Structure 1
Amino acid sequence: MPPRIVLASQSPSRRMLLENAGVDPVCHPAHVDEDALIARATGGPSDVVATLARAKAEAVAPAYPGDVVVGCDSMLLLDGTLQGKPHTIEATIERWRAQRGRSAQLLTGHAIGYRGRWVVETTATTVHFGAASDADIAAYARSGEPLECAGAFTLEALGSWFIDSIEGDPTSVIGLSVPLLRRALYSFGLDASQFWRPHG
């Protein structure tokens, strides 16, 4: 049986990225204690997101010995502090008031495993936030869209109103760097096109 891509995530954005890239992934969300992992993580912000990504991938990998397992984790680095998901409307409003009109780095850790080999890497993309009005910030928070998103924003939906520009890989900002996945597959001796759904 040819290898499949297994996504160790419940993120609809990551699934959408792969589906748009021609892949129908096996989705197997990993359940790890992120707070405990962050508390124990050593190294800088890039290492923290990479540690989370690897923990997710390793939690799922034993069930898929012949497949490519992909774990990811994204956080926003603003003023030297990593920001995760805001979870509440109030926290989202507070976060946006702090980041509007400013720039920050969106860090996405990737852990891609195949037959015991691993590519673990963090991508960094600079996000330039627009100077959103108080009314728009409140409306965006109430929409519910940014509550479970790293950095309290999406690039591909309502959040696109408030992102002036990015510097780097847009797929990484959405949650999974497709170019990095391609390079990892090549390092394993695999081609990206072998994972595409058949055209009929």
Structure 2
Amino acid sequence: MTPADDGARPCLGRLALVLGSASPGRAEILRRARLPFRVLVSDVDEEALGAARPEATPGELALLLAQAKGLNVAERAAAEGVDGPTLVVGCDSVFELDGVAHGKPYEPEVALERWRAQAGRTGRLHTGQWAGLLMPGDEGAVPHAETSTCVGADVRFADVDEDTVRAYVATGEPLLCAGAFTIDGAGAALVEWVDGDPNAVIGLSVAVLRVQCAELGLRFADLWDTSNLVA
């Protein structure tokens, strides 16, 4: 069996990757996975989109936000022009506690309230992940092809005291994180366990990205940087 027998098409030249997010956690996931990329941040209004869909479940909201961000970035990348096959990835995360969706707290007092509610308890982090393929010379609708999914993971928080919560919030780390926490920074000390893909909890699932490449007819291996690997 040849490498292309799985139905995926090898790319002529390297498959380019565009991350539609300013998240340092998502960028670090791609770097660790040896996936070269460039960043193009969307200008989607998250709060307005959420307000327009009040009936959406937390998982549905995460997927809607990821799709909107991915399409926004794909349109802008296509307008700039692409030299070869280009994969655009858009992501967004929403934390669910007691059936209520929580995005980024932004303000310290909001983060404090979130932690008072979730300390010693288990919540669910939903990460929507959209992937779209751009091809040079394509006409009509953008993108050439697309796929999206939502990945969920349960997160158990330590039953930490008020002083610890205040100290954590004072780091500023949780203010721009869905659920007011991370597992790849200071917040790791306050998370007891994760049941699910830890990369998805950080914000981007590489395992899902591999599946999405196959769904788009691409070889995930074409994304890898193998320049420094020993033959």
TM-score, scaled relative to structure 2: 0.83
Distance 1:133 1:178 in 2: 34
Residue 9 of structure 1 corresponds to: 21
Where structure 2 has 5 or more consecutive residues not aligned to the other structure, the ranges are 1-12, 135-143
Query: What does 1:51-90 correspond to in 2, within 5 Å?
Result: 51-62=64-75, 63-64=77-78, 66-90=85-109
Q: May I ask how many residue pairs the two structures share in their alignment?
A: 200
Render the CA deviation track for 1:51-78: whole Å, top value 9, x for unaligned: 1111111111122453111000001001
Distance 1:150 1:43 in 2: 17
Query: What does 1:38-117 correspond to in 2, within 5 Å?
Result: 38-41=50-53, 42-62=55-75, 63-64=77-78, 66-115=85-134, 116-117=144-145
Render the CA deviation track for 1:165-199: whole Å, top value 9, x for unaligned: 01111100000111110100112222222112233
> Helix, strand or coil: the match of 1:9?
coil
Distance 1:44 1:138 in 2: 30
Match of 2:43 among 20, 28, 31: 31
Render the CA deviation track for 1:104-146: whole Å, top value 9, x for unaligned: 1000011111142111111110001110121110000000111
Question: What fraction of aligned residue pairs are identical, expressed as a percent?
Answer: 38
Q: Does 1:183 align with 2:196?
A: no
> Helix, strand or coil: the match of 1:156?
coil
Runs of 4+ in 1 over 4 A off after TM superposition: none
Where structure 1 has 5 or more consecutive residues not aligned to the other structure, the ranges are none
In the alignment, is the contact (CA less than 8 A) between 2:61 and 2:94 conserved in 1?
A: no
Distance 1:198 1:8 in 2: 23
Residue 22 of structure 1 corresponds to: 34
TM-score, scaled relative to structure 1: 0.95
Query: What does 1:79-158 correspond to in 2, within 5 Å?
Result: 79-115=98-134, 116-158=144-186
More off after superposition, 115-124 vs 169-178:
115-124
Cα deviation, residue 44, structure 1: 2.3
> Helix, strand or coil: the match of 1:127?
strand
> Helix, strand or coil: the match of 1:105?
strand
